[in-house]
Structure 1
Amino acid sequence: MSLVKVWDKEIKGKLYAVGDIHGCYNLLMNRLNEIGFDFKSDLLVAVGDLVDRGLQNEECVGLIDQPWFTSVKGNHEDLCEWGLQERAAMQCHIENGGEWFYELDGFKQTNIVRKLSKLPVVLEVNHNGKKFGFVHGHVEQNDWDEFKESFEGGKTNFRDPADLAMWGRDRIDPDNLQYTHVSGVDAVIMGHTVTQKPCKRDNCYWIDTGAVHWGTMTILDLSKV
């Protein structure tokens, strides 16, 4: 799976984005029913961290198989992959809500990692004349095309672009003035950093409002952005 993906399927209905789900499958389904989500024509894009900390992690992994759902890869999906390869990563994962993963048998673990490994780090969706970008944590460049191109060249400034995108938080800091409007895209939707309500800076939105902590899951109707 390419680290950068451009959505190429028709979206007949609305486009929505959901913040970090973190194993809260029932909460997600209840919220979708509340907003009148049309499972036959709408598309829901998750900004990563489908798993860990919550109780319904396998159900959340199963969302990847649904035609009305897609996601980018978050740092917790990254931890699942690392955890099977490195003992230090496994311990880090367990300490951050990943204990459920190591209680599964090897077949289930492998199958889950197979699914998670296919998720892109960056997703671009064009819908109703607008271009939307999705990434879990951070966009380093102030130009969307330059950001995407950075994934073609490998590590820069000693940091892997995928690591920055999944783990970084610098752009959300209002005192960090090097980050401004991201040109070449109408809006960038991110999660990773928990905020009490959706946060906007320039044309970037952060929508992880602590579903697993406070039961407040944000689903953003992108026709209103």
Structure 2
Amino acid sequence: MIDHHSPLRFFPANNRGRDFIIGDIHGQFDIFETILEKINFNDATDRFFATGDIVDRGPYSDQAVDWLTQPWFNSVRGNHEQMIIDAMSGKGDPARHARNGGSWFYQLPLERQHEIAIHLKALPFAIELELLSGEKIGIIHAEPPGLEASLSWQKRIKRLSAFNPTVREKAQNQALYSRARIENSQKQIIEGVTQVYVGHTTVREVMSIGNITYLDTGCSFPDGKLSVIDLHTKLVVSCGAESSS
């Protein structure tokens, strides 16, 4: 059961510094810190946006709240955040979550579990970001809702808060879990935004299909890495676990 959360968070253009989008961190905040060093990140002017799944599998998932309280760090909600939200609402499957990298959560004191869940529940399903160039960027964890080619980004996002519960829950589940577009190599352009950045589906290298770019390069796996893209230069920087040790 997914809640009536405000589905979209909008960010105006950053006229002071750079904007970066990073793939699924999955508790690997040590690798994230290495990336911050590699790109000479300036927390006074630069901003970071994550594709969700910032928790589970990695050893530092408990740090997620600390990062979310940083004014420059923002994330959409992923299915791993949703599993925590569902577990704490009594409607989830803690055993399944634990098998999928979430066992760390159930080892925490109940008060800490509630604190983490509150922060994760505040995450939007989607982020829309403006660039100084006038481009509009969309960020969502898995894929934009709605498989119809004619639907714009804006119409897809509206489904996330539809009054009809069937439409709303289907859209939210697509936002968190869907792999239909990449599995079917659907190259239709999502109108209304220049580019959409997603995570969820592990790819060996950052890749695009149509105007959807897949950023989850599997940092929680031994042969994977964490990848980030500079939205202004379009340069990709990747870092594996061995680089952060």
Percent identical residues: 30
Query: Which has the higher mean CA deviation after the structures are superposed, 108-117 or 179-188?
Result: 179-188
Q: CA deviation at 1:140?
A: 2.9
1:135 to 135, 140, 152: 140
Q: Provide the residue aligned with 2:35 in structure 1.
A: 31
Q: Which of 101, 111, 114 in structure 2 is aligned with 1:97?
A: 101
Q: Which residue of 2 aligns with 1:182?
A: 190
TM-score by structure 2 length?
0.85
Secondary structure of the 1:133 match is strand
Question: Unpaired runs of 5+ in structure 1?
Answer: none
The 2-side partners of 1:92 and 1:9 are apart by 40
Of the three residues 125, 128, 134, the one matched with 2:129 is 125
Contact 1:82 1:89 in 2 (8 A): yes
Is the partner of 2:93 in helix, strand or coil? helix
Which residue, 210, 220, 224 being the options, matches 2:229?
A: 220
Aligned residues: 223
Is residue 2:204 matched to residue 1:199? no
Letter in 2 for 1:120: P
Pick aligned residue for 2:218 from 207, 210, 216? 210
- Aligned residue type for 1:200: S
* SS at structure 1 position matched to 2:176: helix
Higher mean Cα deviation, 134-143 or 124-133? 134-143
Hey, what does 2:241 align to over in structure 1?
Answer: none
SS at 1:149 equivalent = helix
Which residue identity lines up with residue 61 of structure 2 in the other structure?
Answer: N
Distance 1:117 1:11 in 2: 29
2:170 to 154, 160, 165: 160
SS of structure 2 residue aligned to 1:94: helix
Report the Cα distance in structure 1 between the residues aligned to 2:79 and 2:111, rounded to whole angstroms. Answer: 22
Report the counterpart of residue 243 of structure 2 in structure 1: none
Separation in 2, partners of 1:66, 1:19? 18
Q: Give 2:60's aligned residue.
A: 56
Task: Calculate the TM-score normalised by the size of structure 1.
Answer: 0.92
Bigger shift: residues 83-92 or 27-36: 83-92
Partner of 1:73: 77
Where does the alignment leave 5 or more consecutive residues of structure 2 unmatched?
A: 235-245
Work out whether residues 155 and 161 of structure 1, in 8 Å CA contact, stay in contact via their aligned partners in 2.
no
Q: 1:151 and 1:88, CA in 2 relative to 1: closer, same or farther beyond 3 A? A: closer
